[in-house]
Amino acid sequence: MALIVQKFGGSSVANAERVMNVANRIVDTYKQGNSVVVVVSAQGDTTDDLIEKAKEINPNASKREMDMLLSTGEQISISLLAMAIQKLGYPVVSLTGWQIGMKTDSHYGNSRIHKIDGERIKKELDSNHIVIVAGFQGINKYDDITTLGRGGSDTSAVAIAAALHADMCEIYTDVDGVYTADPRIVPNAKKLDSISYDEMLELASLGANVLHNRSVEMAKKYNVNLSVRSSLNRNEGTVVKEVNKVEKMIVRGVARDNDVARISICNIEDKPGMAFKVFSLLAKNKINVDIILQSIGRDGMKDISFTVNEGNLEKTVEILNENKDSLNFEEIKSSTDYSKVSIVGSGMVNNPGVACTMFEALYDADINIHMISTSEIKVSVLINKKNADRAVNVIHDKFNFA
């Protein structure tokens, strides 16, 4: 007799057969006496197809019109999924972002949720309807359609769960849950029964590809219990929730991120304010910088190295070169030949030996470390891309997860 929010991604509803599978799954939850709200993404390649259509006409179309276009993808999914549930003989209603009052700011293409007016959903739940909601979309104060950008449907699901005070928000994906490492890389990776929000946040941002950061941040903020489960089987997934007892915890998982570009600003003047100048310039241009390494000054000069997503490499180099005169450096070097490998665990801050163990594993495997970054609950290293999978395995073995 719980209120459960379930979220299914685009591949889970890619064709008629999969839509029926998802419908059956939803109905099972409903038949057990639960109230069910389902958030669904656009089918398979629909969004890409729509983007293609738009590009053919105008590659520089406004983001407002792109959102008007792209939001149809989820509207198609919700109606088809509702039809599938009707076929199974259960009461259902589909609702768009504007119909549930999903209010966002006006950053078309990448909006943030302001609030959800949950009245319509509550009314439908009171009438015993299964409620199917379009993920990824909302409306701004002008009543214009917005989309939430990457990870949008996960975020929609968590926001709805928060607004309705749902007992659980189940995120269905193509993996069984959160693992100690990517099972495709580390065959003996072990599924975690539960994980804390902070650990999940680090794993998500480190390329574990299970949940998008935004949704985990929101879940943490509103204390929404998340469950990551497979849409392909009935296995218990991993629960993401506030974990209080961190004393016993050590490393929870190993993650790898290949989407890394390293940029070095060589021979920049070694005086106060140079790092500020560089990174405020990049922040102003909305470029997220990850690991930063600054060399020790020598002869009044130093090097500043940092990593960005590969997609931002070109733009970053361009911006730096445009400001070569004011920054006064010698040259920019860049490479995409790196991967970031990280270990995550809430107990790490109280276990100084953890980083050492990681470094030892890499040393034993003769893998060179190019950059290091640490936080309270993670240690990341930058290594050559070709060594990445091997690095994940040797670290995973070293920490003895199995």
Closest to 240 in 3D by CA, of 328, 177, 303: 177
Q: Which of residues 166-185 bind a copy of itself (CB under 8 A)?
A: none
| 86 lies in the binding site for a copy of itself (CB under 8 A) | yes
With CB under 8 A as the contact rule, the residue among 90, 98, 279, 359 that binds a copy of itself is: 98
| 65 lies in the binding site for a copy of itself (CB under 8 A) | yes
Q: How many chain residues bind a copy of itself (CB under 8 A)?
A: 38
| 143 lies in the binding site for a copy of itself (CB under 8 A) | yes
Q: Are 398 and 360 in contact (CB under 8 A)?
A: yes
CB of 174 to a copy of itself, least distance (A): 22
Q: Residue 204 carries which DSSP code?
A: I
CB of 363 to a copy of itself, least distance (A): 55
| 87 lies in the binding site for a copy of itself (CB under 8 A) | yes
Chain center to CA of 287: 17
> Using CA atoms, how far apart are residues 351 and 333, in angstroms rounded to an integer?
36
With CB under 8 A as the contact rule, the residue among 3, 14, 51, 66 that binds a copy of itself is: 66
Q: Are 253 and 180 in contact (CB under 8 A)?
A: yes
Query: Of 74-82, 172-180, 197-205, 256-264, which segment contacts a copy of itself by CB under 8 A?
Result: 74-82
Closest to 155 in 3D by CA, of 84, 89, 102: 102
| 126 lies in the binding site for a copy of itself (CB under 8 A) | no
Q: Is the dihedral of CA 12, 17, 22, 23 positive or negative?
A: positive
Query: Of 71-79, 230-238, 242-250, 254-262, which segment contacts a copy of itself by CB under 8 A?
Result: 71-79
- Looking at beta carbons only, is 78 or 278 nearer to a copy of itself? 78
- Looking at beta carbons only, is 121 or 203 nearer to a copy of itself? 121
- Looking at beta carbons only, is 60 or 244 nearer to a copy of itself? 60
| 122 lies in the binding site for a copy of itself (CB under 8 A) | no
Sheet order of strands, 130-134 included: 92-95, 130-134, 35-40, 3-8, 168-173, 226-230, 238-240, 194-195
CB of 189 to a copy of itself, least distance (A): 36
Residue whose pair of structure tokens reads 């607004």 in the numeric block: 163
Site string for a copy of itself, 1-30 (x = CB under 8 A): ---------------x--xx----------
| 53 lies in the binding site for a copy of itself (CB under 8 A) | yes
With CB under 8 A as the contact rule, the residue among 3, 14, 51, 83 that binds a copy of itself is: 83
Give the relative orientation of helices 119-126 and 152-164 as an angle to the nearest 10 degrees: 70
**Identity at 355, one-letter amino acid code:** A
> Using CA atoms, how far apart are residues 193 and 229, in angstroms rounded to an integer?
11
| 54 lies in the binding site for a copy of itself (CB under 8 A) | yes
Number of Cβ within 10 Å of residue 144's Cβ equals 15
With CB under 8 A as the contact rule, the residue among 144, 217, 259, 270 that binds a copy of itself is: 144
CB of 95 to a copy of itself, least distance (A): 9
Q: Is 199 exposed, middle or buried (0-12, 13-18, 19+ CB in 10 A)?
A: buried
Query: Of 81-89, 165-173, 234-242, 365-373, which segment contacts a copy of itself by CB under 8 A?
Result: 81-89
Q: Which residues are registered as beta bridge partners of 335?
A: 262
Q: Which residues are registered as beta bridge partners of 179?
A: 191
- Looking at beta carbons only, is 53 or 298 nearer to a copy of itself? 53
Site string for a copy of itself, 370-389 (x = CB under 8 A): --------------------
Phi-psi region of 235 (alpha: psi -120 to 50; beta: other; left: phi over 0): beta
Q: How far from 165 is each of 2, 8, 122, 141, 169, CA to CA, in Å?
A: 10, 20, 11, 25, 10
Binding site for a copy of itself (CB under 8 A): 16, 19-20, 50, 53-54, 56-58, 60-62, 64-66, 68-69, 71-72, 75-76, 78-80, 82-84, 86-87, 93-94, 96, 98-99, 120, 143-145
